[in-house]
Every structure is written in structure tokens, then in C-alpha cells.
Amino acid sequence: MTDPLDVATLQRRLADFAAARDWQRYHTPKNLVAALSVEASELVEIFQWLTPEESADVMADPDTAHRVTDEVADVLAYLLQLCEVLGIDPLAALDAKIDRNERRFPLP
């Protein structure tokens, strides 16, 4: 039986992976945000010529579904590594942001 996945476990796997390959010296915050934006653009590339309707249906094709899932993983990988080197808790950051947005865009 495996433990359920959580963010801290994945961050530890990512840090171990980078450390074992001596890649941590490349992982300045500046480089990690660049890599994050590159991976986000690889997601955009999948969708760039699609109509809104076609974009809603990308998971119907197994190859495209795999590509999208793979790029989502890459974005999350760099986001979690960035948070690790900067000492940011991503889930707490988002929770606080939703709180601020609820005040910024109040319901009628």
C-alpha cells in the first residue's frame, strides 16, 4: 500500500532527483521561473490553433491527453521546486489569494 500523494512528498522526490544529478546549482529562482514559463508555453502550444470547442475536447485523443498531462506535470514540477528554494507554501499562498479575491470581487 502506498501513501497518498501530497505536495511535500512530491517536493522531496523532486529535490532528491535534482540533488542526485547535481542539478541544484542550476536551480536559481531566476532559472526556475524561466523554466516554469517555458513549460506553461508548451501547454499553450498544444492549444494555440484550436477553436474554443476543440480545446474543450483535447482529452478525447489519447496522445494529446498524454501530452497535456505531461506538460501539466512539468509546470507543477518547476512551481514546486521554486516554492522549495524560496520557502513558499504553495497551498497556503493560494488559500490566502482566494481570500483576497473574495474581498476584491464581492458577490452582489
Residues engaged in binding a second copy (CB under 8 A):
5-7, 10, 13-14, 17, 20-21, 26, 28-31, 33-38, 40-52, 55-56, 58-59, 68-70, 72-77, 79-80, 82-83, 85-88, 90-98, 101-102, 105, 107
Q: How far are the Cα atoms of 29, 35, 47, 83 from residue 25, in angstroms, in the given order?
A: 11, 14, 33, 16
d(CA 33, CA 24): 14
User: Using CB atoms within 10 A of its CB, is residue 28 exposed (0-12), middle (13-18) or buried (19+)?
Assistant: exposed
> Comparing C-alpha atoms, which of 87, 90, 71 is closest to residue 7?
90
CB 36 within 8 A of CB 82: yes
